């Protein structure tokens, strides 16, 4: 997948957000019982994978063909870096 424009990034985040929201909904429908805990964890990881892919592809877009202005590029890179940090914490959180 190649991201060439801001519009592509928007569509990527829209799709990733929809997948994440769907996974959150499925996990909530499963409940919190011990018999579905592992299934809920894996469904949640699918949603997190969608967000992780969006973060990675956005980072690559920023490095390759993102905004030329440093005034826009640097805050976006900081935002994506913070998102990656939160994403890693969300991956590790179930094991804490």
Say what the pLDDT of residue 66 is: 81
Residue 27 maps to a domain: yes
Q: Is residue 44 part of a domain?
A: yes
Kindly tell me the burial class for residue 55, based on how many C-beta atoms sit within 10 Å of its own C-beta (0-12, 13-18, 19 or more): buried
Q: Does residue 49 lie within any of the structural domains? A: yes
Contact, 73 vs 62, CB < 8 A?
A: yes
pLDDT, average across residues 20-30:
92
pLDDT at 68 over 60: yes
Overall domain count for the chain: 1
The pTM assigned to this predicted structure is 0.87
State the residue range of the domain holding 81.
6-95
Q: How many CA atoms lie within 13 A of 61 on its CB side?
A: 22
pLDDT in tens, 36-67: 888 888 999 999 999 999 999 999 999 888 88
Q: pLDDT tier at 95 (50, 70, 90 boundaries)?
A: low
Does residue 13 lie in a domain region? yes
1 in any annotated domain: no
User: Does residue 65 sit in helix, strand or coil?
Assistant: coil
């Amino acid at each position: 997948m190649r991201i060439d424009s801001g519009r592509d990034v928007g569509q990527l985040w829209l799709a990733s957000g929809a997948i994440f929201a769907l996974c959150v909904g499925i996990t909530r429908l499963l409940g919190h019982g011990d018999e579905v805990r592992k299934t809920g964890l894996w469904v949640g990881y699918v949603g997190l994978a969608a967000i992780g892919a969006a973060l990675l592809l956005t980072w690559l877009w920023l490095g390759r063909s993102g905004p030329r202005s440093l005034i826009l590029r640097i805050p976006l890179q900081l935002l994506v870096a913070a998102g990656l940090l939160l994403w890693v914490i969300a991956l590790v959180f179930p094991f804490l």
